[in-house]
Amino acid sequence: MIRIRFTTAPVLLLLLVSAPRATEVLLPEFQETELANGMRLLVAEDRRTPIVALHLVLPCGREHDPRGKRGLAAFTAESCLSGIPGMDGTEVWLELQRLGGTLGSYASHDQTFFSMKSLPSNWTAVLDILAASLRTPTFPEKEIDRRKGQWISYERGRLENPAALAHMHVYDLLYEGPLGEPTTIEGIRAFGRKDLDRFHREHYRPDDAILIAVGDFDAGTAIEALRAAFDDWARGDGPPPARESTLRAKGPRVCLVHKPGLTQATVRCARPGLKFSDPDWHAFGIANTALGGWFGSRINMKLRAEGGKTYSSRSSNQGQVDQGQFIIGTFTRTSELGATIDTIRSVVGEFVRTGLTEEELETARRIRVGTYLLDSETPDQITNALVWRLSTGSTLEEYRAEPSRWEAIGLEDANRAARAHVPLDGAVWVIVADKKKIGSGLKGFRNVETVYYKEPIAPGNFLSRTRLGIGLTWNTAARGPRVSLLHRWIDLTGTYGLARKCGPWDYGRAAQASLDLHRSSSEYSSGSLYIGATGTWGDSERGVSPHAGYRLFPYGLGGHWSFSLEAGGSFWNRDDLPAFYWSVGLDRFF
């Protein structure tokens, strides 16, 4: 057995090349205690560097966002550092700089993390600011408004980032509840101090909090300082509110996010993954590393080295406490979209059928051990990694023995996990691209839902989601040019009927208006059933014609032409007009 104390990255990598199993990292010795309010403390001395690092985790996150308040958990976490009793946000940050300390906070899917780094001489003073930020944040209105402005600018910026757009839509397809809802500008503007106070009161409680502190201090003295800061933090009343988000299995879904002007296509394929405590976590981690978890993985080599279709492609299993997501991601030239998707499907299918090779297994094990070792060198890295693992159900002993757990995964373990958790049956696909340029790139999918790229941030903007069409119609009552407004599931059409004198019809001009409701998102999908009604006004004819129809987009997402065919019945103001109604139309959308 090789035991590795903390050393430099190059030496660690050399050891990994030649190290026999099993590798074990000698972490600092931790003293563990639990406060009367339920908070767990783990404290360790580490005198190698003059720094004190601390991480604290609370069991609440973005999945606990109230419905209609997407982003509130993250907004609250950031705003906690914007004011404490006696100091506004500017004063807090000036004092931290004077003390040589930093604070940080963020909310993940199901957890909220607070971090601290400080010089040893001032760490208790920085700790007092952290404790006040956690326990008694003041949420000044001025700071809330400033932060809302920052968030709005960030959300607008995400619209220009294809990877961020793909990320938002993946979560929309995977999750029920707030995680599936987009963070909108309207929602951010609605955040108020009452919302933050309520979320803080309901979720910020010491009962299940975990705090890890490592640094250049005396462990006993550090525990007493932490007791003084948190021991009288009162427990919450009753159980905390349940999380609002859950993974959903909606079957295969394909979403095309149309962003005009893009010359590349961003691709994400996702399915429910594994939570960290799943028995297959380590075996699946080895399998995923071989499939797409590093530069030399199968997917990246096939797409980049052999196919020349991308600079990078990766797969990952993002595990949390209760759930996870397995995601494959890449980007490619628009003209290579279809070939790239076919390659991903082919590589994944072969990987599931044939499994890993011995060489892939050994490489994946070394990569996972190396990543662990290089992420466990400094006090800040140790506290960050350890607090996450403890909060997801692991133990200090399991964290210490993590390299051996990776090294113990055998070929059959990894292949079994690959067969169980890698197949893409039922996966969701998100493609961010200019729909005008992808040609037949999505012909391999039966149904494609199309959304305009601004929809995640401005869902109520009618104009941004409406397409103008100009075409011709030929039906029972009128023939002539028409204008269409296609708004995803709704089509509103106005027709000018040319003069017609035949049979019972005798008019010099006519007008028609139609309203159709489509079964699926009709914009640039392959086709859609719909129901609707048409009203006709001629010189002496008046009538309404309920109908059912089908709109076909035969260009396979590459053009703008649409063919529609509908039939139904008619009710007229004259008895001699036909009761059967039919119509055909041809439109060019812009």
What DSSP line would sit under 323-382, residue for residue? -EEEEEEEEEEGGGHHHHHHHHHHHHHHHHHH---HHHHHHHHHHHHHHHHHTSSSHHHH
Q: For the segment 463-473, what is each residue's pLDDT rounded down to a tens digit?
A: 446 778 899 99
Cβ density class 258-291: b for 16+ within 10 Å, e for less: bbeebebbbbbbbbbbbbbebebbbbbbbbbbbb
Phi-psi category of residue 233: left, alpha or beta, with phi > 0 → left and psi -120 to 50 → alpha: beta
**What's the half-sphere exposure (Cβ side, CA atoms, 13 Å) at 453?**
24
**Residue 497: alpha-carbon gap to chain centroid:** 49
> What rounded mean pLDDT belongs to the chain?
87
Residue type, 350: E
Lowest mean pLDDT among 231-235, 241-245, 546-550: 241-245
Going from N- to C-terminal start, the domains of the chain cover 30-230, 249-452, 466-589
- 249-452 folds as Cytochrome Bc1 Complex; Chain A, domain 1 (3.30.830)
Q: Domain 466-589 belongs to what architecture?
A: Beta Barrel (2.40)
Greater pLDDT, 432 or 467 = 432
Q: Domain 30-230: give its CATH code.
A: 3.30.830.10
Residue 458: pLDDT over 60:
no
Evaluate whether 30-230 and 466-589 have a shared fold. Answer: no
**Residue 199: alpha-carbon gap to chain centroid:** 22
Of 507, 552, 509, 508, give the one whose Cα is nearest residue 528: 552
Q: For the segment 280-317, what is each residue's pLDDT rounded down to a tens digit?
A: 999 999 999 999 999 999 999 999 877 788 888 999 98
Q: For the segment 303-313, what is each residue's pLDDT rounded down to a tens digit?
A: 987 778 888 89
Residue 561: pLDDT over 50:
yes
- 3-class secondary-structure state, position 289: helix
CA distance 135 to 84: 9
What is the tally of helices (H) and strands (E) in the chain?
Answer: 17, 29
Q: Tokens for 324, please give them.
A: 């996870």
The neighbouring-strand residues paired with 352 are: none
